[in-house]
Amino acid sequence: MRNIKLTIAYDGTKFHGFQVQPQLRTVQGVLQDMIESVVGHPVSIIGSGRTDAGVHARGQVVNFKTTSRVPLEKWPIVCNVKLPNDLVVQASEEVPDDWHARFNATGKVYRYVIDRGAYPDVFTRHFSYHYPYPLRIEPMVEAARLLEGRHDFTSFCAAATPVEDKVRLLHAVELIEQDHLLVITCRGEGFLYNMVRIIVGTLLDVGRGKIAPDEIPEILKACDRTRAGLTAPAHGLTMWEVLYEG
Amino acid sequence: MRNIKLTIAYDGTKFHGFQVQPQLRTVQGVLQDMIESVVGHPVSIIGSGRTDAGVHARGQVVNFKTTSRVPLEKWPIVCNVKLPNDLVVQASEEVPDDWHARFNATGKVYRYVIDRGAYPDVFTRHFSYHYPYPLRIEPMVEAARLLEGRHDFTSFCAAATPVEDKVRLLHAVELIEQDHLLVITCRGEGFLYNMVRIIVGTLLDVGRGKIAPDEIPEILKACDRTRAGLTAPAHGLTMWEVLYEG
């Protein structure tokens, strides 16, 4: 069996998230049906991680095993011919038999886009959260710095998550202003459920003066989801890149 | 009567162009219905110019006359509440009674985006033309320079156009590479029907070596539509800005 790694991009607007669900259009479901129709045998698609309904991906990574002899460089072409326009295979690679899109990932980069224009930008409306209210950026940058590092992120994780160990290493939370867009990039070893969206919701509370930057350490320490801000909407979030060693 | 100027943006994907057509969803039609429902009397929407089916606008300008006393600063809010997500009023202004969105325009800026990635970019797919073939940019820049200035643009105008005078002043044709995107910006006093799309189609022919830059003066001189390149697809084009004096 060959082990094939694909890098995929999708516009999450019309997907019910990554993970297969009966009767619903999901990324994993569409991808699996397409690949099975190419290779002629059942395949199991492993993703680097799930994305929620409405969340996009520029560089999601998946792998699957197949007996197919489709030449490596042909995979994107063969796949893209059969895929809908909102899901694109960007690259393919053959990886060792024990390589696993999730277990081998050493980090992830997410990007959240806030549209600060007075009225929504029609061109980015599917990929950004329109927030036309005043924001002070400097305190947001200060709060972002205080979130970086290795912390127990229980306060920044959807309350119902079954994961026990909520300590994660967050390498960087960067804010960049591009015209009317505010782009928040989070780079870390791993992320808890809704973690980036709760970080963004909390930074928005900081930007509008509801939370002071120096409250961030207390909020982390509290290990209490109710202390952090709201979960920012899914459609502003994009899984930007999955990092692997070597 | 007050004369109201609105700056609007639209995603042209689901509009049958700007101009009203019976039974079809058009920008002018949707805008007119909305404004009539606000002001309670018939209005006539004047646009700075038409855009074809599939063409977008970031800064299209329209004006209309009304007896409504809606305060000026409220127009975008009042309109946007009633408009669909792919059409947004960005700004409003009260203008003198004889001000006319088309006649008063002194220039226009159009932007055409070419996606040069190997596979389509899902995030820009509605606003860019995917062209994954090799292109030499330098000759394209050279050809662009030769199109600038005051010329008879008959060769760069849809053949069936009834306009008699096809001399136009083209201030600038600029090419900028942004990662995998090639952005072509055309700024001029006025444009003929399909002119920007034919310029782009011709520059693509230059980029792939089918037309040499020094053929541009001959193509202009020929005043023959068949001498220039194909008309590039509508969905890569955005009416970027309409220029007015003062």
Whole-Å CA distances, B242 to B6, B27, B54, B134: 12, 17, 19, 33
**Is residue A193 included in any domain, yes or no?**
yes
B57 and B123 assigned to the same domain: no
B124 and B240 assigned to the same domain: yes
pLDDT (0 to 100) of residue B159: 83
Q: The tokens of B135 are what?
A: 């292109």
A182 and A235 assigned to the same domain: yes
Which residue from B minimizes the CA distance to A84? B122
Touching check for B90 and chain A: CB below 8 Å? yes
B166 and B214 assigned to the same domain: yes
pLDDT (tens digit per residue) in A69-104: 999 899 999 999 999 999 999 999 999 999 999 999
User: Which residues, including other chains, have CB under 8 Å from residue B224's CB and lie 6 or more apart?
Assistant: B154, B155
Among B95, B121, B139, residue at a domain's last position: B95
pLDDT (0 to 100) of residue A14: 97
pLDDT (0 to 100) of residue A162: 81
pLDDT per position in chain B (246 positions), as tens? 999 999 999 999 999 999 999 999 999 999 999 999 999 999 999 999 999 999 999 999 999 999 999 998 999 999 999 999 999 999 999 999 999 999 999 999 999 999 999 999 999 999 999 999 999 999 999 999 999 999 999 999 998 878 889 999 999 999 999 999 999 999 999 999 999 999 999 999 999 999 999 999 999 999 999 999 999 999 999 999 999 997
**Is residue B101 included in any domain, yes or no?**
no
| CA–CA gap between residue B64 and residue B4 (Å, rounded) | 6
Length of chain A: 246
pLDDT (0 to 100) of residue B124: 96
The CATH number of residue B33's host domain is 3.30.70.580
**Is residue A53 included in any domain, yes or no?**
yes
Per-residue pLDDT for A212 more than 80?
yes
A214 and A155 assigned to the same domain: yes
- Residues of chain A found within 8 Å of residue B10, distances taken between Cβ atoms: 122
Total domains, chain A: 2
pLDDT (0 to 100) of residue B62: 98
**Is residue B100 included in any domain, yes or no?**
no
Contact B122 A85 (CB under 8 A): yes
Among A36, A71, A95, residue at a domain's last position: A95
- Residues of chain B found within 8 Å of residue A12, distances taken between Cβ atoms: none
pLDDT (0 to 100) of residue B160: 80
- Mean pLDDT across A154-166: 89
β-strand A56-66 against A2-10: which pairing, if any?
antiparallel
Sign of CA dihedral A46, A49, A52, A58: negative
Report the mean per-residue pLDDT for chain A: 96
Touching check for A9 and chain B: CB below 8 Å? yes
B8 and B121 assigned to the same domain: no
**Is residue B21 included in any domain, yes or no?**
yes
Touching check for B181 and chain A: CB below 8 Å? no
Q: Compute CA B235 distance to the chain's CA centroid, rounded to the nearest angstrom.
A: 11
B239 and B127 assigned to the same domain: yes
Give the residue numbers spanning the domain of A76: 2-95
B61 and B155 assigned to the same domain: no
A67 and A181 assigned to the same domain: no
Compare CB distances from B88 to A76, A80, A122 and report the shortest one's residue.
A122
A76 and A111 assigned to the same domain: no
Length of chain B: 246
**Is residue A78 included in any domain, yes or no?**
yes
Counting residues of chain A whose pLDDT is more than 90, the rounded percentage is 96
Contact B127 A125 (CB under 8 A): no
Per-residue pLDDT for A246 more than 80?
no
User: Which residues, including other chains, have CB under 8 Å from residue B13's CB and lie 6 or more apart?
Assistant: B54, B56, B86, B126, B235
Rg for chain B, CA atoms, rounded: 19
**ipTM attached to this prediction:** 0.89
pLDDT (0 to 100) of residue A176: 98
Q: The tokens of B240 are what?
A: 């970027």
The catalytic position among B11, B33, B52, B165 is B52
pLDDT (0 to 100) of residue B164: 86
Nearest CA to B229 among B219, B239, B237, B221?
A: B219
Interface test mutation site (partner A, options B82, B85, B123, max chain A beta carbons within 10 A): B123
B86 and B128 assigned to the same domain: no
**Is residue A183 included in any domain, yes or no?**
yes
**Is residue A101 included in any domain, yes or no?**
no
Per-residue pLDDT for A160 more than 90?
no
Q: The tokens of B153 are what?
A: 């643009």
pLDDT (tens digit per residue) in A23-49: 999 999 999 999 999 999 999 999 999
Question: Distance between the two ends of chain A, CA-based, in angstroms?
Answer: 23
The CATH number of residue A162's host domain is 3.30.70.660
B86 and B110 assigned to the same domain: no
| CA–CA gap between residue A80 and residue A75 (Å, rounded) | 8
Cα-flanking dihedrals φ and ψ of residue A187, to 5°? Answer: -125, 125
